Structure formats: structure tokens, C-alpha cells
Structure 1
Amino acid sequence: MSDTTTARRHELNLYRRYFELVAAGHKKIEVRVRYPHLTGMAAGDTIRFRIKGTEETCDVRVLRVTRYPDFEALLDGEGPANVNPTSGREEQLANICAIYPLEKESLGALAIEIELLAA
């Protein structure tokens, strides 16, 4: 059986504090709003994360993409330590909601399981 889907490459910006966790291999789940340009993201795709306004990048492989109705359900389903091992659930929820206002969250949430690729 052949797979006719082709892995795609995505470029996404990250705040420095999250970029550093990804680049160190500590952040296993990236959280995003289910924007139309991300709905086709799938296992096998790659993401190049960049700190906005810099040349600093790191590449990851997408292992899994799971949809959730909101950020609370995502944190409960994925486990806060996988999203950000340096802060607790309530702090993470507040940080995510500060990045994505309620009208964006209403689009749904994506948990993107990632694996750091060798530089």
C-alpha cells in the first residue's frame, strides 16, 4: 500500500521562552489555534520555528496533531508538563489565553506533538 500524501513544511513564529524549550528538546506539545492554514498539518510534516525578527530557527518533525474544543481540554488531554515543563497548568492557561483571545480560541485548539530534528 502506498501513501500518496506528501509531507509539508511549515514556518511558524515562537516567543523566545517557548523556542528555547523546543530547541532544548523539552517541549513536546506545541499549542496553536486551529487556523485554516494549519488544518492540513499532519504527522510527518516538519515545522521550522523562528523567533520573530531574528534568524534563530529550529526544525521539528510533527508526530501527531490532535484537535480540542478549547485550551483547557487540550491541557487536560495532553498534560501541562508536555506543553511547558517549566510552569503549572493555571499559569499556562493564562499565558495561552493572553496570546490567543477568546474569539481565536473559538476556532478550536491544536496540540501538535513534535520531535526536535538534529541541526
Structure 2
Amino acid sequence: MTETHARVRELNLYQQYFDLVAAGTKTIEVRVKYPHLADLAAGDTIRFRIKGTDEACEVRIVQVTEYADFAALLNGEGAANVDPTATRDRQLANIRAIYPPEKEALGALAIEIALLQPARTGPGS
């Protein structure tokens, strides 16, 4: 019998999105379907960090859903789950400012997450 273990991945987040994840109000993380993310699966853990800081929080992946583009993702997942502080149109503009058209063309991942522990800073985090 083959035993599988959940993996821990580290990903960076901008401060504004990190704060929403750490508060438990952002339940869908949006990413381009890069090859290194193609194997994300339910049960895996993501440790989100604010780039250049020691601040981190961990989430468990509940589900990963693929979409053709960001508009379809926001329609399918509900914009309030991606960013409860912005309208759908504002979110689409924000996401496309981060990822140019050639990245969006790779496809979009909606990563449903559940907060495991609050944010932490300092040594050992």
C-alpha cells in the first residue's frame, strides 16, 4: 500500500491579501496555473508569507478548481470569497495588474483554503 503525505508549500502574498487570509475572510486564493502549482491538492498546506518579512500564516487546501481565465474564476467562485473588500470588476483589474495576459492564458487556479493558524512573526515562524 502506498502512503501519501500532505505537502507544505510556501507562497508569497501581497500584504492586503495576506491580511484577509490571516483574518479568515479570504477563502479562495487565485493563482496562474504554473507547472509548479499543477500538483496542488486538497489536504496540502500552504504557508503564506509577506515577501521580505517573517510574517506567515498557514492554510489547508480544501479544493483546487481550474478555470480558463480570471473572469470565469470570479464568476464560478464568487468575488466575495476571493476578496470581500472589493467589487468583482475591481478584483479582475487587480488580478490582471499582477498577471499579464500571457500568464492568464496559462489558465487560472481557484485554491479554496481554510485557515489553520493565525499569522506569526519572529524567530521560528
TM-score w.r.t. the length of structure 1 is 0.96
2: distance between equivalents of 1:91 and 1:35?
24
In structure 2, the partner of 1:71 is 70
Q: CA deviation at 1:4?
A: 3.7
Q: Give the unaligned 5+ runs of structure 2.
A: 119-125
Q: Is residue 90 of structure 2 the alignment partner of residue 112 of structure 1?
A: no
2: distance between equivalents of 1:14 and 1:118?
16
Aligned residues: 118
Q: CA deviation at 1:51?
A: 0.3
Superposed CA RMSD? 1.1
1: distance between equivalents of 2:2 and 2:20?
33
In structure 2, the partner of 1:50 is 49
In structure 2, the partner of 1:99 is 98
2: distance between equivalents of 1:48 and 1:30?
12
Q: CA deviation at 1:7?
A: 1.0
Which secondary structure state, in structure 1, belongs to the residue aligned with residue 81 of structure 2? helix
Q: Structure 1 residues 3, 80: CA separation in 2 closer, same or farther (over 3 Å shift)?
A: farther
Question: Could you give the per-residue CA deviations for residues 42-84 of structure 1, whole angstroms, max 9, x where no partner exists?
Answer: 0000000000000000000000000000000000000000000
Q: CA deviation at 1:3?
A: 7.0
Q: Give the unaligned 5+ runs of structure 1.
A: none
1: distance between equivalents of 2:4 and 2:30?
24
In structure 1, the partner of 2:82 is 83
